[in-house]
Structure 1
Amino acid sequence: MRIVYIEDNDELRETIGCLMEGPGRSITSCASAEDALLLDAQAPFDLVVSDVSLPGQSGTDLAQALLKQSPQRWIVLCSGYDLGHYPAQWGPNVRTLLKPFEIEELEALLSQIEAQRANASLQ
């Protein structure tokens, strides 16, 4: 599964990016939504994990732009505040993760998404 992780905090981007690595996962990290869009245009990622508060284009704007192109995209928005039910209205594969989160929470979410993607490809 190809994952792009967007986080403007250098230390978090490096740490969380490394922690997301695992069998069958390829992680690309970048500091802005604009960079992520350029990379995604070259070869769409299977999963986009993005901080909400980014310089320039926000993570929510990034999510909406990607979902316009492909409503079935898998997106995880990470935020320090509860986004409520709002992101779920954007599509069936949009999830949120409240910061600060434990790595086990992130890993459980990634495993859940991997399982759902595997089930969908069998159908």
Structure 2
Amino acid sequence: MRILLVEDEPALREGLARQLGTAGYRVDTAADGEDGLYQAREYPFDLLIVDLGLPKLNGVSLIRQLRAGGHDVPVLVLTARGSWQDKVAGLEAGADDYLTKPFEFPELAARVMALLRRALKATSTELHFGNLTIEFARQEVRLAGEICELTAFEYRLLEMLIQQRERVVSKQELSDYLYPHDEDRDSNVIEVLIGRLRRKLDPDGSQPVIETLRGRGYRFVREA
């Protein structure tokens, strides 16, 4: 899953990004509110972590503008100790939860997982699609009870398609999700990954997993 961390304090930003990356998340960062708002509008994220005391554009304004534009991505705000007014302002702007500094990483990780679980509209971190099971907390995929070995990119692609399973996801959206915005992208890689996923998740071709809609994109087709 992809997280945008908007934090102006370099040591905290780099430390959290490293710990979240170790926990299995794809993490993009921004050091000010303007860059954070730009990235949140332009790229598909599953969660935003936003410090309220940001330069150029404060966190409350960032969230308010994002919500005004129709973005419903979950937002966890980071606030200073004792600033209850900031907490209220962040929630009223459209944040989903807050965490007071200083905090321990396990607490942040628990809040992140709770928000992602809520966004997935699931009561647990595990979803079942016939003989296919996805356990998000462990980033584990099982086929008929057996572990299905996926590469990091294959797993991220499957995760994105499952989250957006109510609609067709374009190749461009998948590319934006898989690659940092400052890297070169090759759309052919998406086709290769889709092909590999199909072979791994439906080896005998009897239970389709991903549908291709020519000129439009891809859709996860199994029912939960």
Interval containing the TM-score (normalised by the shorter chain): 0.7 to 0.9
Conservation of the 8 A alpha-carbon contact between 2:6 and 2:30: yes
Amino acid at match of 2:96: V
SS where residue 119 of structure 1 aligns? coil
Amino acid at match of 2:90: P
Does 1:114 pair with 2:116? yes
Conservation of the 8 A alpha-carbon contact between 1:66 and 1:73: no
Worse-superposed segment, 106-115 or 41-50: 41-50
2:171 match? none
Counterpart-to-counterpart distance in 2, 1:33 and 1:89? 18
**TM-score in terms of structure 1 length:** 0.84
Amino acid at match of 1:116: R
Does 1:16 pair with 2:19? no
How do residues 33-112 of structure 1 correspond to structure 2 at under 5 angstroms? Answer: 33-70=33-70, 72-80=72-80, 81-82=83-84, 83-91=86-94, 94-112=96-114
Percent identity over the alignment? 26
**TM-score in terms of structure 2 length:** 0.49
Identify, as 1 or 2, the structure richer in helix. Answer: 1
Greater RCO (CA < 8 Å, at least 6 residues apart)? 1
Work out the number of aligned pairs and report it: 121
Task: Give the gaps of 5 or more residues in structure 2.
Answer: 123-162, 166-223
Task: Give the gaps of 5 or more residues in structure 1.
Answer: none
**Aligned Cα RMSD in Å?**
2.2
CA drift of 1:15 comes to 0.3
